[in-house]
Amino acid sequence: MAEEKPGLRSSTEVLSRGFDPRLSVGSARPPVFRSSTYVFSSPEAAERAFDLVAGRAKPQAGEQPDLIYSRFNHPNAEIFESQIVPLEKGAQAALVFNSGMSAITTALFTFLRPGDAILYTVPIYGGTQSLIEGFLHSWGIAGVAVPAGDIAAMDKAIRETPRLRVILIETPANPTLVMTDIRRAASAAGEARAEESPLVMVDNTLLGPTFQHPLDRGAHLVLYSATKYLSGFSDLIGGVALASDPELIRKMQLKRNMFGNILQPDECWMLASRLPTVRLRMNRASKNAQRIAERLASHPKVAKVYYPSLFADAEQIRIRLQQCDFPGAMFSLELRGGKSAAFDFLRKLRIAYNAVSLGGVETLVCHPKTTTHSGFTEAQSADAGVTDGLVRVSIGIEDWRDLLADFEQALAA
Ligand SMILES: *Cc1c(COP(=O)(O)O)cnc(C)c1O
């Protein structure tokens, strides 16, 4: 929509690209364009726009095709997609979806065919796991699960899995924040299968775009639930895909045109307006979380705190230091006293809400075993560290001293 100004730093660029006030009566902030259809500038422009949207022609450098219809594209989607690119290190193109699951589903449908295999880290987001194990499986796509952080298992699966087309990494894993080395996975994929290298996709919802930069570490595609930190206010559902190769995004866009899972203009407008503050929010929340997690680690009612700055395993510490700028705002507490201790804790909280989801400015706490991870078998729960006494915390931007006091009063008998 507007000329890009290369050379600017990302916090400036997010506020200065993607939108030209002159096209909107001088409005300093983008308006919402709620039209379902767009008036063509000429029949020739309409013909060209259809050739482009169908993939029969490729846009020339700097070409601004006419908009057609809001299932394909609309100004608020374009503004958001342009403005998020500078926030993701190494990205050249982005695509917005009506949920995180929608972004993940479209990525997998774009790059997998029946007979192909997908390798994925576990634990992984429950919706993603159901998609791979409960749905793609029946479409003839083999899913190979490897434990998060297990380099040897990952290397072996990369070498031995026939027709491996996609490696999907979620790091850190939820709820115990086990990290997987993105660079190792990407280089193993490149070396073992030089002729037909699988695409490395990273669900970057928990630490990105502020603290973890998968494209910089060799990943091809970054996926988000924009519902979480990108939105930041627990008031909308959305998703994003980003890549350094615009061709990957263009292929996904052809699928999005067909599936009809673009995000609506109002939500795109909300998301775009929150991009300039995503770093401020995440930095504040991460600082809060680190202060609280490190203090709760010595609380007598807390058996263990899962948080990146408290990792004990040397390999996990190495990955964190190389791959993440800051530890982030999620931690989990293993409470002494099992489920009843966990439920008592949730009941007594006065500031933090008992809710699933994460990444909002307000602090949310949940009991994974009976909610987000209730579909797990006992064996899966044991592998993922989802115990009866585990509570997962998403720290917000409140004053950390009030939050710590809230947790301490809830832990007191
Ligand atoms: C929430 C979440 C998703 C799914 O996103 P929706 O926006 O709810 O569809 C995927 N991955 C991770 C890591 C998530 O936290």
Q: State whether residue 127 is helix, strand or coil.
A: helix
Alpha-carbon separation of residue 228 from 248, 365, 400 (angstroms): 24, 14, 20
The crossing angle, in degrees rounded to 10, of helices 182-192 and 314-323 is: 90
CATH 3.90.420.10 fits 10-277, yes or no: no
227 lines ligand 1 (CB under 6 A): yes
| Cβ count within 10 A of residue 212 | 24
> Cβ of 137: how many Cβ atoms within 10 Å?
13
Cβ–ligand 1 distance for 203 under 6 Å, the answer yes
Q: Which residue spans of the chain are classified as CATH 3.90.1150.10?
A: 278-412
Residues of the chain with CATH 3.40.640.10: 10-277
Q: Calculate how far, in angstroms, residue 65's C-alpha sits from the geometric centre of ligand 1.
A: 32
Per-residue pLDDT of the chain (413 residues; tens, 9 = 90+): 445 566 899 999 999 999 999 999 999 999 999 999 999 999 999 999 999 999 899 889 989 899 999 999 999 999 999 999 999 999 999 999 999 999 999 999 999 999 999 999 999 999 999 999 999 999 999 999 999 999 999 999 999 999 999 999 999 999 999 999 999 999 999 987 667 889 999 999 999 999 999 999 999 999 999 999 999 999 999 999 999 999 999 999 999 999 999 999 999 999 999 999 999 999 999 999 999 999 999 999 999 999 999 999 999 999 999 999 999 999 999 999 999 999 999 999 999 999 999 999 999 999 999 999 999 999 999 999 999 999 999 999 999 999 999 999 999 96
Q: Are 166 and 111 in contact (CB under 8 A)?
A: yes
331 CA to middle of ligand 1, Å? 17
Residue closest by Cα to atom 6 of ligand 1: 100
Angle formed by the axes of helices 100-111 and 246-259, to 10°?
110
Q: In angstroms, what CA-CA distances link 95 with 67, 217, 249, 285?
A: 16, 20, 7, 26
Task: Compute the distance from residue 125 Cα to the ligand 1 centre, in Å.
Answer: 7
For the segment(s) 278-412, the CATH number from 3.40.50.720, 3.90.1150.10, 3.10.105.10, 3.20.20.105 is 3.90.1150.10
Radius of gyration of the chain measured on its C-alpha atoms = 22
